[in-house]
Amino acid sequence: GNSVTQMEGPVTLSEEAFLTINCTYTATGYPSLFWYVQYPGEGLQLLLKATKADDKGSNKGFEATYRKETTSFHLEKGSVQVSDSAVYFCALSDPYNQGGKLIFGQGTELSVKP
């Protein structure tokens, strides 16, 4: 079945450092890929998405490219801020076969120190 694997956390960075959070997936069909972020005590917020191979999703300085050849969707940001501290989830959906169902990775906690 479909699955998502993320790098384990926690990840601790200094402000203005470069961020990469790895995400790989296993899927049949044509999945859509997402990154969601969860701040303490809150629900999930959509950060970015990509719906087909080679698409790049971007938002608030974060980027991720849908790589079908490596089945990856790594999240990157060039310069992190303290306010980026949160848990990041990679997820996929199979919209043509499984409707709205999202399959999530285990989450990666990011802590950014001033």
Partner 1 sequence: KAGVTQTPRYLIKTRGQQVTLSCSPISGHRSVSWYQQTPGQGLQFLFEYFSETQRNKGNFPGRFSGRQFSNSRSEMNVSTLELGDSALYLCASSTGLIGSTDTQYFGPGTRLTVL
Residue whose entry in the numeric block shows the structure tokens 């997402």? 34
Instruction: Rule CB under 8 A: choose which of 17, 98, 109, 111 binds partner 1.
Output: 98
Question: Count of alpha carbons within 13 Å of 43, Cβ hemisphere only?
Answer: 2
User: Which candidate, 107, 103, 82, places its Cα nearest to that of 32?
Assistant: 103
Choose, by CB under 8 A, the member of 22, 102, 109, 111 that binds partner 1. 102
Q: Is 37 helix (H, G, I), strand (E, B) or coil?
A: strand
Residue from the set 19, 21, 25, 34 that interacts with partner 1 by CB under 8 A: 34
Q: Which residues, numbered 37-76, are part of the site for partner 1 (CB under 8 A)?
A: 42-46, 49, 51-52
Residues at the contact surface with partner 1, assessed by CB under 8 A: 30, 32, 34, 36, 42-46, 49, 51-52, 89, 91, 93, 95-96, 98-107
